[in-house]
Structure formats: C-alpha cells, structure tokens
C-alpha cells in the first residue's frame, strides 16, 4: 500500500481491486458478501496511515472512477477524481466555489467523506447530492442534510456506503480570478512544506477549539523537528509529520501519539488526530 498513500508507507493488501465504473463496485461488494470478506475504500490515499502489516480483505481503489463534467453550474465528478483536478476543471469552465480546495491531496470522494475544509471553504455548503452503492449492492442517491455534517465530519464516516459520483453546486466565476486565488493557495501550501516530503498534510484537526491553530500549539512546546525513526515533525510546520525517506508506519504513528501526549501533558489540550489508522495494527 505504500504506492497508494501520500505517506508512502504501508504493507500489502490481501486483495487490491481498481473498479472502472459503478457496476464493478457492485460486483466487488457481492463477492465480499458471498465470502464474508471485509473491504476498505481507498480514495487518494491522503489522511490515512496504513499499517506495516497491510490491510486484510479487499482494498477498493476508486482512482479509475474519475470522470468530470458539468451541467450549468453543477459539477459532476467521479468519486475517485483527484479533488485538485476537479477544482482546476471548475476554474477552467468559469465555475466558482471549489477554488478553496485546489492543491489539497486526495479524491473528491475523500473530500466529501471528511467534509474537507480549508481557506474558509467547506464541502458541505456546495454539496448537491452523492451517488452511492449501499453495502447490500443497491445504487442509491444521498441528499445532504444539515444535521449530518459538522467540522470535518460527514455521515459517510458512520456508514459503509461507497460513493461513486458527486454533484457540487457551484456559481459563475472568472477563470483568471479563480486561478489567481488557487495559485496563492498552492504557494501557501508549498511554504508550509506540504510537497517537499511524503506526508498527509495536517496531522491534527485545526478547528482552533483551544484558541490557536494546532500547529502553533505544537510549536509552542518546541516539538518542531522532533523525530522517531524515519518520521519527523516538519521543520516548516509543526502540524505536519513527514516521512524522511525510510519511515515505517509504526514510526509515524508513534510520533503522532508522542505529539498528542506531550501537548496534553504540557498544555492540557486533547488534540484530535485527522490522520486515520488503517489496516492490521494487531502486531503493534
């Protein structure tokens, strides 16, 4: 799985499948039910840390379900489309509202799953509907409701539906102005070190519940540059953990937990991780 995650770590999956369309997803779920095999849905591989022992069951990589189109101001995107590509498509077609997410790693489906938020933008307000395959293999449409969403939370975190297509309600915009903002966002991410080494972006959620960004809190106790094995707190931003080249998933998890424990011990703040631990961690 190291080839399919932004941390560039993770052991093998028992079965790795890359469906080309929704019918393939339905077929895979039927096989999983028949043989009582668990499944894991993979988007862009961001915000996850796959165990060194890998993932048991079927990994369903949605990366080939990556179409993109629009009707009026509604953007229609396959769940596996890189979310930055969706943002670029929207800007090129004079559609505003998705520019906030440009240069963020991950897929459209992953952005909906996390209710991705950055630069004062959020997925939920522009989410029109989501085509899903239910665990029993039925094709259905989910229409968002306000009570289903919160800061970086969505209903997909608590159910097993698989997103196949997302519709986003955008506005008319000026391509040149949109690209100017998008390039500013990309430059800001570069300045924080998002692209210089394998990482998953922010390690802890950043809702400022404790009065300051999580990165500033971590920095305030002098943890920038702290390393465990091949994992290191970025020298450029304290809320980013990087793989320096030879990190294991265990190194990264130990460092994330160390940061959390040190912050809690020294400030009393209980930071909530944004990175999800995926796969077989039993040997740890």
Query: Is 191 one of the annotated active-site residues of the chain?
Result: no
Query: Is 274 one of the annotated active-site residues of the chain?
Result: yes
Of residues 84, 103, 107, 202, which has the active-site annotation?
A: 202
Strands 231-233 vs 227-228: parallel, antiparallel or unpaired: antiparallel
Of residues 122, 131, 165, 274, which has the active-site annotation?
A: 274
Active-site residues, by number, are: 202, 274
């Amino acid at each position: 799985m190291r080839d399919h995650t932004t941390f560039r770590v993770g052991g093998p999956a028992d079965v790795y499948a890359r469906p080309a369309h929704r019918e393939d997803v339905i077929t895979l779920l039927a096989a999983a039910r028949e043989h009582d095999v668990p499944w894991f849905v993979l988007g862009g591989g961001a915000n996850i840390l796959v165990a060194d022992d890998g993932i048991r069951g079927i990994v369903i990589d949605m990366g080939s379900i990556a179409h993109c189109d629009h009707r009026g101001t509604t953007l229609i995107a396959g769940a596996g489309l890189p979310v930055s590509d969706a943002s670029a498509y929207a800007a090129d077609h004079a559609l505003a509202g998705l520019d906030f997410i440009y240069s963020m790693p991950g897929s459209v489906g992953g952005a909906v799953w996390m209710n991705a938020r950055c630069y004062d933008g959020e997925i939920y307000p522009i989410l029109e509907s989501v085509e899903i395959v239910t665990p029993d293999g039925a094709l259905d449409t989910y229409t968002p409701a306000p009570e289903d969403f919160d800061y970086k939370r969505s209903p997909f975190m608590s159910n097993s539906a698989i997103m196949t297509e997302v519709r986003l309600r955008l506005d008319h915009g000026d391509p040149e102005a949109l690209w100017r903002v998008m390039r500013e966002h990309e430059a800001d991410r570069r300045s924080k070190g998002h692209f210089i080494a394998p990482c998953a972006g922010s390690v802890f959620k950043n809702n400022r519940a404790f009065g300051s960004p999580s990165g500033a809190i971590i920095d305030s106790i002098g943890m920038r540059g702290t390393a465990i094995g091949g994992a290191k707190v970025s020298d450029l931003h304290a809320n980013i953990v990087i793989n320096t080249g030879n990190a294991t998933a265990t190194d990264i998890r130990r460092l994330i937990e160390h940061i959390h424990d040190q912050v809690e011990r020294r400030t009393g703040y209980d930071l909530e991780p944004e990175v999800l631990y995926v796969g077989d961690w039993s040997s740890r």
